[in-house]
């Protein structure tokens, strides 16, 4: 089943498990505003953070990316990894043992999990069981929070400096600097990221790519495809196919 440079997206209830196989794919700077993400590197190595907070993950390493923690993936060599996406809303209502059980059931259905040594499998599951949803991981100035929530709730709409002027007490340019310092991305980058997250949801509902592009605010389909591939690693049509195939299995 494993093919050259392949990404598999697997949905198990509210948990998503991503398998990246024999990959040289690079992902640009982004964050996950809705979730904690646990990475397990099974082969090769990746650069997760640039200077000054440089972070290199090698085979066998496990790392938890907290909400809004800005990171990227730069391939140092061909790599395999598993990413386990745990939504904040899920962590708020489930205890650690229940989360561990559901994640383990999902991992057992993947191709890559068997590549992780038995003791590292236990370490990974212990790590997941001990994750505590902590609002301190994403505590922002209330004026910054306004735009964060707006981008999450209305990603299909256009962002403007005039909106900042009306909604906050900051000058637009001071706001842009403050937002970047706190969130790690510009408001525009954060908005695009949320458009792509919404697009993923719609594609899982078997919507057509052209329709999804319009629904999330892209009026040029080529721009939509480019941004989607930069963040997700594959095209919208490939993502839709993977999700559809998994649902039929």
Give residue-wise pLDDT tens across range 49-79.
877 888 999 999 999 999 999 999 998 788 9
Average pLDDT of the chain, as a whole number: 87
SS3 10: strand
Q: What does the alpha-carbon distance between residue 29 and residue 68 come to, in Å, rounded to a whole number? A: 11
* Residue 3: predicted pLDDT: 43
Which residues pair with residue 63 across a beta bridge? Answer: 39
Structure tokens at 109: 């259905």
Q: H/E element holding 149?
A: helix 142-153
In tens digits, what is the pLDDT along the chain, a chain of 249 residues? 334 568 888 888 889 999 999 888 888 889 998 899 999 999 999 999 877 888 999 999 999 999 999 999 998 788 999 999 999 989 988 888 999 999 999 999 998 999 888 888 999 999 898 887 665 566 777 888 888 888 999 999 987 777 776 767 777 788 888 889 889 899 899 999 999 999 999 999 989 999 999 999 999 999 999 999 999 888 999 998 877 555 544
* Residue 138: predicted pLDDT: 66
Q: What does the alpha-carbon distance between residue 5 and residue 7 come to, in Å, rounded to a whole number? A: 7
DSSP label at 130?
A: T
* Residue 1: predicted pLDDT: 35
Give the gyration radius of the chain's Cα atoms: 18
* Residue 37: predicted pLDDT: 94
* Residue 38: predicted pLDDT: 95
């Amino acid at each position: 089943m494993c093919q050259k440079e392949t990404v598999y997206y697997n949905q198990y209830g509210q948990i998503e498990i991503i398998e990246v196989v024999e990959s040289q794919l690079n992902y640009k700077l982004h964050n996950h505003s809705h979730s904690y993400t646990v990475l397990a590197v099974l082969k090769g190595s990746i650069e997760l953070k640039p200077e000054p907070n440089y972070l290199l993950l090698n085979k066998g390493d496990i790392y938890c990316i907290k909400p809004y923690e800005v990171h990227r993936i730069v391939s140092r060599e061909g790599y395999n990894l598993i990413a386990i996406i745990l939504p904040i809303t899920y962590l708020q209502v489930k205890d650690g043992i229940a989360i561990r059980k559901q994640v383990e059931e999902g991992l057992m259905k993947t191709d890559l999990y068997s590549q992780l040594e038995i003791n590292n499998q236990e370490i990974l599951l212990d790590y997941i069981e001990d994750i505590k949803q902590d609002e301190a991981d994403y505590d922002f100035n209330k004026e910054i929070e306004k735009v964060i929530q707006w981008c999450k709730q209305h990603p299909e709409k256009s962002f403007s400096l005039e909106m900042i002027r009306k909604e906050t007490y900051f000058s637009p340019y001071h706001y842009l600097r403050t937002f970047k310092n706190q969130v790690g991305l510009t408001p525009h980058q954060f908005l695009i990221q949320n458009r792509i997250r919404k697009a993923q949801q719609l594609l899982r509902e078997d919507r057509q790519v052209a329709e999804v592009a319009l629904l999330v605010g892209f009026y040029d389909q080529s721009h939509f495809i480019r941004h989607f591939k930069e963040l997700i690693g594959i095209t919208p049509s490939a993502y839709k196919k993977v999700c559809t195939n998994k649902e039929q299995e």
